[in-house]
Structure 1
């Protein structure tokens, strides 16, 4: 039985694990590591400590399917709709430029539920707070080291974290619930993020709240506030020609994937997962 490690419990990683399980059944052991305390990546749903407050999506807010992807990825959308993970988004989104043929969807239980659906389908061994720091070739296998210490060996490794994090690795690889109050998400601009990237969240949060007060002077005092800093956010420039994956080494297999190798949305992650699945099937 081949042992495969998928690093990153976001959309691409969870979908890759799901597809690999469906294709290879019991012929492969799938392990998923993520450095965070929960699954989701940039589709994370945060649960506030106060039960009277709603949960909130910190990254992606909804899913848009173009006419082309509605057809080519029909099976994925059909699965998510029939399971109740996705629902059509019928309300208008202010500022969104609608295009003919596009379909918008929302997640009643938060965007994180989309990732958790595919993880559940994968039957993978899931481990959180497993921060990968290095990959080392050991014959026909990879020894993968963790920040907390210790290492494990795998026949193949799939990296789905942001490219800047891949490049830092050491080793041999260069909805509102009734009765709850509403939640409000404020996204800052790219220039603002660049300017304040290295500052502490406690120093930036008052600036954001001050600007919010100017925009919405009648906004009541929040019950709780969570300031989220995305050091690696939406991909601005992807790998040329968007191959979906990059095979760094054939034996032992090391594959990189994610939206940096495709395009930064739901369907881009689907394309990347399908591309990595093809490579994994050929090798394993």
Structure 2
């Protein structure tokens, strides 16, 4: 009989785990509170009088070190979904036409139910049922939490305290991300700025390979500054980020024709080095970059590791 698994979180870790399981015939259903695929590889488009501005406001690029991930990136590149970004480094890659292109391609291969906010899990006999407003009454053989550690911990606490304790100690750092579109190019030669004042990163997104549209910049603040200003309103943060960009470029920055600000509460994970978490008796586990390291590649690898561990446990129990 085909075994079923519910994966909560349709970012790259959850989708990577789904790839492994569906390849072996498992019935996988992913649930995500967002409206579309992306997670921290999110992209946003904003209409302006100068045309559509595009911003990669989460992960700015990804690197490739693992052989398995290298194969995945090669397939994305062959499909025209990923390309190198030399300005960010010799091993830097980005999605085309936006960072979320690769995650959307992964999601298209699976059953993903967006705008489903899972608040918890109920154990009913040997099955799992998802809790939350509008959740289906269906049951699943296994459950996977592909969530930041801070969101996975309270769900795990009710079922496996050892797994929950691992998540409780895996703290993430926050980040404010600002998106600004301008009428004319900023008079600054470099397309990337790192570690200037409150800014950990600033990049001319419109200069990335495969991008077009008006002059567009993404700026991201340091973890220390983000933590100190975490609960401020976005409308208070926007002018501070704009002033920081002006200071970083050393030139006058005109008022943007469009802008948006996003708060990432769980932006940067420290990484526990465990790879994944799995309780083979209850059939519940977790994956994500927080279980390896703060890179896109680590999220993909964690999902792969958990998928293979689930399959190995299933074969051993057969």
Q: Normalising to structure 1: TM-score of the pair?
A: 0.85
Map 1:1-284 onto structure 2 (within 5 A).
1-22=2-23, 24=24, 27-50=25-48, 52-66=51-65, 69=66, 71-90=67-86, 92-93=87-88, 103-120=91-108, 123-148=109-134, 151-169=137-155, 171-173=158-160, 174=164, 176=206, 180-216=213-249, 217-236=251-270, 238-239=271-272, 242-247=273-278, 249-284=279-314
Stretches of structure 1 that go unaligned for 5 or more consecutive residues are none
CA–CA distance in structure 2, aligned partners of residues 55 and 235 of structure 1:
26
CA–CA distance in structure 2, aligned partners of residues 255 and 38 of structure 1:
23
Aligned length: 264
Label 1:178 to 1:278 Cα distance change in 2 as closer, same or farther (>3 A).
Answer: closer
Stretches of structure 2 that go unaligned for 5 or more consecutive residues are 165-204
Structure 1, residues 21-63: CA drift from partner, whole Å, max 9, x if none? Answer: 22x1xx3221111111221111001121438132111111112
Structure 1, residues 71-95: CA drift from partner, whole Å, max 9, x if none? Answer: 45332122111111111223x33xx
Label 1:265 to 1:178 Cα distance change in 2 as closer, same or farther (>3 A).
Answer: closer
Label 1:264 to 1:215 Cα distance change in 2 as closer, same or farther (>3 A).
Answer: closer
CA–CA distance in structure 2, aligned partners of residues 179 and 115 of structure 1:
21
Range that drifts further, 161-170 or 36-45: 161-170
CA–CA distance in structure 2, aligned partners of residues 171 and 243 of structure 1:
21
Q: Normalising to structure 2: TM-score of the pair?
A: 0.76
CA–CA distance in structure 1, aligned partners of residues 135 and 11 of structure 2:
23
Give the root-mean-square deviation of aligned CA atoms.
2.2
> Is this contact kept in 2: 1:15–1:119, CA < 8 A?
no
CA–CA distance in structure 1, aligned partners of residues 6 and 135 of structure 2:
17
| Cα offset, 1:19, TM superposition | 2.4
CA–CA distance in structure 2, aligned partners of residues 141 and 118 of structure 1:
27
